[in-house]
Amino acid sequence: MKRPADTVSEHELHAFVDGELDAQRRSEVQAWLALHPEAAARVADYRRIEDRLHLRFDPVLAQPVTVPPELYRAPARRALRVALLAALALVSGALGWHLKGRVGGEGGGLPELAELVQPAAFAHLVYTTDTRYPVEIPASEQASLNRWVSQRMHTDLRAPDLAAQGLRLIGGRLLPSTNRMAAQFMYENAQGDRLTLYIRRIADYAGLSNFRYREQKGLHMFYWIEQAMGYAVVGEQPPAQLIGVANAVHLAMQAEKHSQ
């Protein structure tokens, strides 16, 4: 007989809906829901919302990425790119990170490409160019934004303050990403150039805690995976600027975890 759980948190209810509980805990939550019809009704609502999200966005995610030519900048000469990566490696070493740079192309079928790099780049290109609805929840409602993404991602998340990097928060949104939800926070500098931070849970993250760099046709990204959470800082800004933002994000997330 299934043993009911003593208590079930709201985060666990979302994890139950998303299939992220282990077999024993899932059995306990099922028994608990049988005794708590109001919570069971909320779980049914969560499932309906998730079904509608998949119905709306899965066909979009399945489409190949086609980027308008005007979004691309003329690529720098190869010698300058190689020199820049060498300089970035020195900066990264000074920050206590090991940079694994790679210029252009998508490369082999690493899991992080499908789960983090590709959806982060696609979401950046789609929403940073949207003049009407770039975000779902604006920065003026940041407390609601943080609470919403934390509940749906089953972990405490806060949009980091990047004012020291010359960036102001525009807002954020939730996105379906393969078999997980993802959060996207969008920022803008004084010139109106946008940058995004993409976060999602990664199933296989062994050996990927270091910063990694990717660039394709003017779009730059630093990404890393820590404690099963993947982070990607994406923008058209110079990589030397992006790595400073990535480091600031990493420090903010570390400080957030230590304060919990």
Contact 164, 248 (CB under 8 A): yes
Q: Is the predicted pLDDT of residue 167 greater than 90, yes or no?
A: yes
Task: Specify the DSSP element, H or E, that contains 160.
Answer: none
Q: How far apart are CA 250 and CA 247, in angstroms?
A: 5
DSSP structure class, residue 210: S
Confidence band (pLDDT; 50, 70, 90) for 77? very low
pLDDT of residue 130: 87
Task: For residues 205 and 213, give the distance between their C-alpha atoms in angstroms, rounded to a whole number.
Answer: 16
Q: Any idea where the domains of the chain sit in the sequence?
A: 10-54, 69-259
Sheet holding 219-226, edge to edge: 100-103, 212-216, 219-226, 229-235, 194-201, 180-188, 168-177, 137-138
Determine contact, residues 187/162, Cβ cutoff 8 Å. Answer: yes
Run of H or E including 224:
strand 219-226
Least confident of 40-44, 50-54, 78-82, 255-259: 78-82
Q: Find all residues with CB under 8 Å of 21, minimum gap 6, and list them.
A: 12, 15, 29
Output the pLDDT for position 125. 92
Kindly report, residue by residue over 200-248, the tens digit of the pLDDT.
988 665 556 678 888 877 899 999 888 788 999 999 998 888 999 999 9
Determine the distance from the C-alpha atom of residue 250 to the mean position of all C-alpha atoms in its chain, rounded to a whole number. Answer: 13
Nearest CA to 228 out of 163, 166, 125, 154 is that of 154
Residues 30-44, buried b or exposed e (16+ Cβ, 10 A)? Answer: bebbeeeeeeeebbe
- pLDDT for res 22: 82
The stretches of the chain forming alpha helices (DSSP H) are 10-17, 23-35, 37-61, 78-94, 111-112, 118-127, 142-153, 239-259
Minimal CA–CA distance to 149: which of 166, 129, 174, 120? Answer: 174
Quote the pTM value: 0.62
pLDDT, position 59: 60
* C-alpha 228, offset from chain centre: 12
- What's residue 106's pLDDT? 39
Q: Report CA Rg, the chain.
A: 20
Which pLDDT belongs to residue 74? 42
Give, as one character, the DSSP assignment of residue 140.
G
- Name the fold adopted by 69-259: Phosphorylase Kinase; domain 1 (3.30.200)
